Amino acid sequence: MNYDLNHCNNLDFIAKELQEREKNNNLRQLNSIHPQDAVTIIKNGKTLINFSSNDYLGLSKHPDLILASQNYTQQYGVGSTASRLVTGTYDIHRKLEEKLAKICGKESALLLNTGFQANMTILPSLVDQKSLVLCDRLVHNSILQGIFLSNARWKRYQHNDLRHLERLLKKAVLQGYNRILIVTETVFSMEGDCSDVDSLIQLSQQYNTLLYLDDAHALGIMGEKGMGLTAHKSGIDISLGTFGKAFGSFGAFITTSKLIRDYLINCCPGFIYTTALPPSVIGSIDAAIEMIPSLDQERKYLLEQVNYVQNKLKNLGYQVLGSTSPIIPVVIGKEEKAVKLSNFLEENGIFVTAIRPPTVPKNTSRLRLVLSSKHQQEHINYLINLLQNYHEH
């Protein structure tokens, strides 16, 4: 792709950036797909088995969610028409928040529009330039953006190294910050491994910090009744969940205390100034909540397949990170090698996106395999056979 630098004028920095990314095999482009079912898509007229979706339980195509979405649209219309503090709080929003709080074992819940928006706008509402934020080195970009906007001091502890976190806490409590916030993910989106939630709670209580946990990738597939790794645990000030992954829908929510909920309703710009989630989305989420607690067999099958795939790939000589979730990162290294393998799989009927810098560190480009409970054994074995053939040749 050629970008004409001679006629860009004050936009030449944009063309240069795009050219540099293309040169380094890091240029991203949008590719349209048409989903057929929970695990197959059509791309450029070709049917592919999808191993890149976060639809862990295949609920995005479930008829009960579709029907609930249609029914809510019929009853309430296609849009919520305003922000929550104007006329955008319908009875269905309130009832859904009450249901989420109850099933997660928390005092209250608050709906938000996306996980990215939530992290980016809640964090600056909790801390300021006199505060300190301590975060895992590999937290999601949305968390980093929220920290940047807060103007707080911040430090990163080594990935899942709570001894390092405690050393930072011991120093921090002596330095006069108005508050200290620990923030991390429970399941890391690019590594697939998990935080030690109980130890994080213990450290937070010991050093009197705020604790904010992003539970997006655990919700639906881990914890009691599949409600995540933070459900029914005290000592977490804010837990974030999203509905665009295992719930198969869209949107986000937090569970928290009534005090913090009331504070955010009054002081969180990303909540105050945005249109509420539409009724169709609320309907699909409500249907998913009714269903997810009963899907223990699907969760069991899914995690069994994770172990199966990891062991197979390790035996083939692939570098597979220590995932305990449906996210299985296969580290390839150089960007062009990851793209080449991704293209090979697509040519043979498998869709797996190559993840490259800056999403992951340089020289750690990877295939981010994501399993769904709807993947059949034949799908998984076909993927493994292709990776074996590629590795041998």
Are 92 and 282 a contacting pair, CB within 8 Å? yes
Write out the two tokens for 303.
């995690």
214 carries an active-site annotation:
yes
98 carries an active-site annotation:
no
* Cα–Cα distance, 177 to 206 (Å, whole number): 16
Q: Which of 55, 97, 185, 215 is catalytic?
A: 185
Q: Which residues contact 82 (CB under 8 A, 6 or more apart)?
A: 88, 275, 276
* Cα–Cα distance, 251 to 113 (Å, whole number): 5
Q: Which of 50, 52, 54, 119 is catalytic?
A: 54
Concatenated DSSP letters of 181-227: EEEEESB-TTT--B--HHHHHHHHHHTT-EEEEE-TTTTTTSSGGG-
Collapse the DSSP code of 136 into the 3-class scheme (helix H, G, I; strand E, B; otherwise coil) and give the result.
Answer: strand
Q: Which of 55, 214, 286, 335 is catalytic?
A: 214
Kind and range of the H or E run holding 94: helix 91-104
Are 287 and 64 a contacting pair, CB within 8 Å? yes
348 carries an active-site annotation:
no
Write out the two tokens for 103.
């099933």
CA distances from 329 to 232, 248, 307, 332 (A): 29, 22, 13, 9
Are 96 and 80 a contacting pair, CB within 8 Å? no
7 carries an active-site annotation:
no
Largest CA distance in the chain: 62
Kind and range of the H or E run holding 153: strand 153-157
Q: Which of 225, 233, 245, 374 is catalytic?
A: 245
258 carries an active-site annotation:
no
Q: Which of 53, 189, 204, 325 is catalytic?
A: 189
- Residue listed under structure tokens 């240069």: 16
Residue 158 gets the label, from left (phi > 0), alpha (psi -120 to 50) or beta, of: beta
Of the candidates 83, 87, 131, the one whose C-alpha atom is nearest the C-alpha of residue 269 is: 83
189 carries an active-site annotation:
yes
Q: Which of 62, 140, 233, 312 is catalytic?
A: 140
185 carries an active-site annotation:
yes
Residues annotated as part of the active site: 54, 140, 185, 189, 214, 217, 245
